[in-house]
Structure 1
Amino acid sequence: MPLYAELHRHLGGSVVPRILWRYFQRQTDPLTHKFADYDDFEEFYTRSRNTLDEYLELHTLVEHVQTVQTLPYFIYRLIRGAYIFENLAYLELRYTPYLRTSEQLSQSERIDQMAQIVEIVGQASQVQDYPMVTSQILCMHARLPYAVNKAIVDLAAQRKDYVCGVDLAGGDAHYGERLAEFVGLYQYARSLGLNTTGHLYETSDGCYPELLPYLMRIGHGIHIPLKYPELLKEVAQRQQCLEVCPTTYLKTGTLEDIYQLKVVFDSCFEAGVDIAICTDNAGLNNVRLPFEYENLLTQDIIDFEQMQACQDAAFRHAFAWPHQQHPASLLTGLLKNPRDEVVAANGTPRTKD
C-alpha cells in the first residue's frame, strides 16, 4: 500500500461537495434554495471554469463558513477522508487565516484573531483515530493590504509549532503592481527562517522571475517548462520543487488537455527538477491524490519510475516531515523477514512452521 505526501492542498477548496451540502442543509443556508438537489449543487461546485479568477471565486463560498466555531467540523472530516481514502501519511494545509476571521471586527482585531484561527486548525488536525503528520502553510494574499500580509508572515514565525511555511495566493496575475512589496515580504520571511512557497508561473499571466530566488518550492510553476524552459537550470540549482496539480489546470482553463503536462514532466526530469504531484483543491476538483497519480500513468504522461520519483520528491521536499526516510522505508524495517520468523508470546523468535 503506497503512502502519500500532499504538499499543496487549500483548506477552502478541500471540503468535498457532499460535506459542504450537508452543512448548508443543517444550517438552513439560503444557498440550498438555489439548487434543486444535491446533484445540482455538485455539478455547480465541481464543474470547470473559464479562468483561474472565476475558479478562485468559489473559495469565498467556503471561506465565509469556515469560522472559529465551524473549523473543527470541516477539518475533522477533511483529515478523516485524507487518511481513509487517500492513504496520506503527510498533509500540509494552506489557507489565509485573515479570511477565516470575523468580518464584524476591525482590521487590527481581525489580525489579532488570526492567532486563534491557527490554534484551532492546529488542534483540530490532531485526530488520534486518523494518525498522520500535518502542518499549516499560511497564505499571504494578492488582494489583502501589506499590513495584513506582514502580520501573516509574523504569525507564521511565531507559531512554528503549527506552521511550516508561507505562501502567496490570490491569483498570480495580480502580483505585478505590487511585485516589489511581495519580494520584500519574501525577503522578510526568509530572514525569519521561514520555509517559502508561492503560487507562481501557474498561468501565462503569472510569470515573475523576480520572486523565484526567494522560494524553496514553487506552487504549480508549470509555465516555466512550458514557456521559459531556460529557467529550469536555475530552478534545479536552487533545488526547488514544483507543486504540480494536474486536475486544476483543466478546471481553470489553464490547459486544454491533460497531455500538455507531458512536456512539463519530461522537461523537469531531463533538467533534474523535482515535481511533487498534488491536488490543490480536492473538493472543488472532485479528485483524490491517488487518482492524480493514476490518471497521469494511464494517460502516458509519466511512467512508474517517474511516479515513484514524484512520490519520493514529495516527502523529500515536505517542510515538516520529521523523518529522513519515505514511510515505505520505515514500514520495511517494521516488517523485515515476516516470512521467516514469528515472535513467540515470550518475545523469543521461532521459525515459522
Structure 2
Amino acid sequence: MALFADLHRHLGGAVVPRILWRFLQRSQSEIIDRFAHYGDFEQFYTAPKASLAEYLEIHKLVESTQTTGTLPYFIQRLVRGAYTFENLAYLELRYTPYLRTPATLSQTERLDLMPAVVQCVAAASQVPGYPLLMPQILCLHTHLPYEVNRAMVQLAADCVPTVCAIDVAGGDRAYAERLPEFIELFNWARELGLKTTGHLFETRDGCYPDLLPYLMRIGHGIQIPLHYPELLPELAARGQCLEVCPTTYIQTGTLTEIAALRTVFDRCFEAGVDIVICTDNAGLHNVRLPAEYEALLTADVIDFQQLQACQTASFRHAFAWPHAQPPSQVLQDWLRQPSAPAIA
C-alpha cells in the first residue's frame, strides 16, 4: 500500500535519465548526438551545478521534449515509478503549461493550447493498476510576460479540481523588479479561491518577505530559518509550511552538505513551523523520495520521530488530499479492527 506524499515535484525534472535517454533515442533527437554513451548523458544530466541559474538550464532541455504528443510517455512512467518505487499515494506535479506548447506559434496561439496541456497531463496520470492521486500545480514564471502569467492563473481557476494551486518559478533574482506584479497575481488567485505556493527564500537571492502573506505554503524557504528566523513566528501563525527538498540544495550549490539543514529543521520544530520533505526534481537528481528521507536520517538532521511528523504534515498540507487522515493511519486503523468472520 502506498503511504507517502510528495508536494513539490516539477514535471521538467521528474523524468529519470534512463527514460529520457530512451525517448531521445526513439525520437532520433539531435540532442543525443552530443553524447557518445548513456553514461556521459547521465553524468551531464545529474551532475551538481554551480548555481541555481545553471541548474535551471537543464529544465529547458526537458521542456523542449514535452508536448501534448509526448507527455503521456513521460507521465505514465512517472506514475508507475512513483507508486512502485517511492510508495507514493499522493503527488502534486507542477509545471508551466505555456512552456509545453510549440515555441514556433504566436503567444495567442500558445495560450489557446494551454487547456489541452492540462487535460493531457490529467488523462495520462490515470494509469490502470497504479492508484496515485496526482493533482497539478501551474507555475507562473519569472521569464514570461504578465499576460501569460495572468492567463495561467485564470486557467488554474477554470481547471479546479484537476489543478489544485498555482506557484511561481524561474530564477529568483528576477523576482525583485516584478514583485508588485506577482503580489497582484497571487492576491487575485486567492480571491478566485485558488491555493498558493511559491519558490521563495530558496537562495540568498530569493528573499522577498512581501510575498509571504499571499502563500499558503513556501517552496523551499530554507533561508528563513537559516538567516531570517525572526520570520518564523509569522509563518507559524499563518499555518504555512516549508517544502524542503534536500538534494536540490547540493545540486544548486546553495548548501555544501545535507547536514547544514539541521538548523533548518531544529528552528522550524522549535517555532512550530511544519516541514514537508520533497524531491523537487527526482529525475534530474536520480534520487527518489525514500532516499531523501534516508539522507536526512543518516546525516543526523532529523530522527525517526521527526521524520514521521514531516510525513504526516505532508498530508495535512496537501492541497487536494481528500481524506482526514494519511494512508498510514487508515491502514493502522484497519489492521486493529477485529477480523471478519470466516465464511463457512
The runs of 5 or more residues in structure 2 that have no matched partner are none
> Which amino acid is 2:11 matched to?
L
Pairing of 1:1-150 with structure 2 (within 5 A): 3-150=3-150
Measured in 1, the distance between the counterparts of 2:298 and 2:106 equals 51
Q: What is the TM-score normalised by the length of structure 2?
A: 0.98
> Which amino acid is 1:343 matched to?
P
The Cα of 1:183 is off from its aligned counterpart by 0.5
The Cα of 1:133 is off from its aligned counterpart by 1.2
Q: Secondary structure at the match of 1:168?
A: strand
> Which amino acid is 2:32 matched to?
T
Indicate yes or no: 2:281 matched with 1:305. no
> Which residue does the alignment assign to 1:244?
244
The Cα of 1:171 is off from its aligned counterpart by 1.7
> Which amino acid is 2:153 matched to?
V
> Which residue does the alignment assign to 1:351?
none
The answer on whether the counterparts of 2:258 and 2:295 sit within 8 Å (CA) in structure 1 is no
> Which residue does the alignment assign to 2:151?
151
Indicate yes or no: 2:336 matched with 1:343. no
Pairing of 1:136-285 with structure 2 (within 5 A): 136-285=136-285
Measured in 2, the distance between the counterparts of 1:248 and 1:173 equals 17
Cα distance per residue 1:282-304 (max 9 Å; x no partner) = 01111000110111001100001
The Cα of 1:32 is off from its aligned counterpart by 1.2
> Which amino acid is 1:181 matched to?
E
The Cα of 1:109 is off from its aligned counterpart by 1.0
Q: Secondary structure at the match of 2:294?
A: helix
Q: Root-mean-square deviation (CA), in Å?
A: 1.1
The answer on whether the counterparts of 1:171 and 1:199 sit within 8 Å (CA) in structure 2 is no
Measured in 2, the distance between the counterparts of 1:2 and 1:256 equals 32
> Which residue does the alignment assign to 1:331?
331
> Which amino acid is 1:10 matched to?
H
The answer on whether the counterparts of 2:138 and 2:156 sit within 8 Å (CA) in structure 1 is yes
Q: Secondary structure at the match of 2:143?
A: coil
> Which amino acid is 1:75 matched to?
I
> Which residue does the alignment assign to 1:350?
none
The answer on whether the counterparts of 1:173 and 1:203 sit within 8 Å (CA) in structure 2 is no
Cα distance per residue 1:141-182 (max 9 Å; x no partner) = 000000000000000000003100000000212100011001
The Cα of 1:342 is off from its aligned counterpart by 5.2
Q: Secondary structure at the match of 2:209?
A: coil
The Cα of 1:30 is off from its aligned counterpart by 1.3
> Which amino acid is 1:208 matched to?
Y
> Which amino acid is 1:68 matched to?
T
Deviates more, 1:120-129 or 1:141-150: 120-129
Q: Secondary structure at the match of 1:243?
A: strand
Cα distance per residue 1:209-239 (max 9 Å; x no partner) = 0100000000000000011000000000000
The Cα of 1:85 is off from its aligned counterpart by 0.2
The Cα of 1:343 is off from its aligned counterpart by 3.5
Measured in 2, the distance between the counterparts of 1:146 and 1:122 equals 26
The Cα of 1:3 is off from its aligned counterpart by 1.3
> Which amino acid is 1:48 matched to?
P
Q: What is the TM-score normalised by the length of structure 1?
A: 0.96
Measured in 2, the distance between the counterparts of 1:34 and 1:271 equals 49
The verdict on how the C-alpha distance between 1:341 and 1:194 changes in structure 2, with shifts beyond 3 A counting, is closer
Measured in 2, the distance between the counterparts of 1:137 and 1:124 equals 16
Indicate yes or no: 2:296 matched with 1:296. yes
Measured in 1, the distance between the counterparts of 2:175 and 2:31 equals 32
Measured in 1, the distance between the counterparts of 2:140 and 2:241 equals 20
Q: Secondary structure at the match of 2:161?
A: coil
Measured in 2, the distance between the counterparts of 1:75 and 1:341 equals 39
The Cα of 1:2 is off from its aligned counterpart by 7.0
Measured in 1, the distance between the counterparts of 2:102 and 2:341 equals 57
The answer on whether the counterparts of 2:2 and 2:89 sit within 8 Å (CA) in structure 1 is no
The answer on whether the counterparts of 2:2 and 2:83 sit within 8 Å (CA) in structure 1 is no
The runs of 5 or more residues in structure 1 that have no matched partner are 347-353
Measured in 2, the distance between the counterparts of 1:79 and 1:191 equals 32
The answer on whether the counterparts of 1:200 and 1:207 sit within 8 Å (CA) in structure 2 is yes
Q: Secondary structure at the match of 1:167?
A: strand
**Identical-residue share of aligned pairs (%):** 65
> Which amino acid is 2:285 matched to?
N
The answer on whether the counterparts of 1:122 and 1:162 sit within 8 Å (CA) in structure 2 is yes
Measured in 2, the distance between the counterparts of 1:284 and 1:133 equals 22
> Which amino acid is 2:125 matched to?
S
Task: State the number of aligned residues.
Answer: 344
Q: Secondary structure at the match of 1:139?
A: strand
The verdict on how the C-alpha distance between 1:105 and 1:229 changes in structure 2, with shifts beyond 3 A counting, is same
Deviates more, 1:220-229 or 1:25-34: 25-34
The Cα of 1:332 is off from its aligned counterpart by 2.1
The answer on whether the counterparts of 1:136 and 1:162 sit within 8 Å (CA) in structure 2 is yes
